[in-house]
Structure 1
Amino acid sequence: MTYASATYVPETRLGFQFLRTHTWQHHVLRVAINDLKRLIGEPLPQGGVLLDVGCGQGRSFRLLRDAFRPDRMIGLDADPHSLALARDEAQREGIEAELVTGDCARIELPDASVDIVFCHQTFHHLVEQERALAEFWRVLKPGGLLLFAESTKAYIDTWVIRWFFRHPMEVQKSADEYLAMLRGQGFAFEHRHVSLPYLWWSRSSDFGLLERWGLRTPPPPGQREETLVNVAARKPLSDT
């Protein structure tokens, strides 16, 4: 398989199959998009151009269409096989999506041409993270939104994830490090635009089973290693 990025880390067979499941779409994608909508606040932006970076197999398309009603939806991924499945998904859902085989660190779109960049569980797969974030900034219009939802090093570095999935471990970051990276690029957001979900599937050792059985009390924010970070960030209208 030839990928669009020279630094692409191919997913395991199990990981690839998991991204096709109802569990992924319903318990991961849907929950993240609903949380990002909450972080944006009302009214949600409607229309314009939406770029789904690392769109994978297109399981996000219907959820994004229903939330933002974009005039133009673009899905970008480095894996041609994923994009073939994304094309099938778009056809099943009756969605017109432009699918691009490309590298998040080298997006072939004009400057200031996108209203929303959706980056869900993509960034921890990228080796050239700084370049990718600079590309998100470049293609976004002033005032445009970056919807960023990520798993952190505390989750990616657990034995179960390392056993079943494949990631570039040298680039994994904490929630605070991801937030600092976004601010360093120039993205603007306040505390109310950030959430640190503690979902059952992101629990670092037991998927929350001990807590659900009443055998352990979940640690409060500030006393745990955060496993997820969601941000609704804006590119300011001007640099001044």
Structure 2
Amino acid sequence: MTYASPTYVEETRIGFRFLATHTWQHHVLRVAINDLKRLIGDPLPQGGVLLDVGCGQGRSFRLLREAFAPRRLIGLDADPHSVELSRIEAQREGIDVELHVADCARIELPDASVDIVFCHQTFHHLVEQEQALAEFWRVLKPGGRLLFAESTKAYIDTWVIRWFFRHPMHVQKSADGYLAMLRTQGFVFDDAHVSLPYLWWSRSKDFGLLERWGLRAPPPPGQREETLVNVAARKPMERA
């Protein structure tokens, strides 16, 4: 298959199938979107243009429509097969979405044309991360939002993820590394707009089973390797 990105790392069969499951939509996507809504605070932005970068098989579309009611919803993915499955998912849900087979590092949209960029569990698949982030910045309007939810190197580099999934390991970053990258690009956010979820499915050794059984207390922030980072960032308004 020909992908839109020359550096695309093809997913495993089991990984591709997992992204179509209820588990992915309910326990990963839904949880992340709810957390990002909390980080934005009230009122949530409504209407406008929402770009879902790395939209995969379209399982986010209904959740994004319910949360932000975009006037125009755009999905982008480098994998043509994923985009075709996104089209089927949108039709099944009755959602009007504009779909593109495209590289996140080369987005064919005009400057300052998007109100929200939603980037969920996409960056750890990208080799050209700085270029992709620069593209997010370019297409966002001044005052636009980047909703960024990502797994860190501490999770991607675990045995279970290496066994079942495939990623470009040389570009993986810590939570602090992703936050620094966002700030270097110019995105603004403070501590109230960042969360570091420590969800059971992101635990590196036992998926949190010992804690769920009451046999061990969860490590507090600052005494653990963070596995997830969610950020509700903003592109600053242009100065007069």
TM-score (norm 2): 0.99
SS of residue matched to 2:59: coil
- Please list, as runs of the form range in 1=range in 2, the aligned pairs for 1:19-168 lying within 5 A after superposition: 19-168=19-168
Shift of 1:49: 0.3
Shift of 1:173: 0.1
Letter of the 1:37 counterpart: K
SS of residue matched to 1:216: coil
User: What are the superposed Cα offsets for residues 74-130 of structure 1, whole Å, 9 maximum, x if unpaired?
Assistant: 000000000111000000110000000000000000000000000000000000000
User: What are the superposed Cα offsets for residues 41-69 of structure 1, whole Å, 9 maximum, x if unpaired?
Assistant: 00000000000000000000000000000
Please say if 1:11 is aligned against 2:11: yes
Distance 1:88 1:70 in 2: 19
SS of residue matched to 2:133: helix
Shift of 1:210: 1.1
Gaps of 5+ in 1: none
Distance 2:89 2:239 in 1: 39
Percent identical pairs in the alignment equals 86
Where has structure 1 moved over 3 Å in runs of 4 or more? Answer: none
Distance 2:194 2:217 in 1: 24
Distance 2:189 2:161 in 1: 30
- Please list, as runs of the form range in 1=range in 2, the aligned pairs for 1:198-237 lying within 5 A after superposition: 198-237=198-237
SS of residue matched to 1:154: helix
TM-score (norm 1): 0.99
Shift of 1:213: 1.3
Shift of 1:223: 0.4
Gaps of 5+ in 2: none
User: What are the superposed Cα offsets for residues 145-178 of structure 1, whole Å, 9 maximum, x if unpaired?
Assistant: 0000000000000000001000000000000000
SS of residue matched to 1:37: helix
**Over aligned residues, Cα RMSD in angstroms?**
0.8
Letter of the 2:37 counterpart: K
Shift of 1:217: 1.2
Residue in structure 2 matched with residue 182 of structure 1 by the alignment = 182
Shift of 1:239: 5.8
SS of residue matched to 1:119: strand
Distance 2:61 2:154 in 1: 28
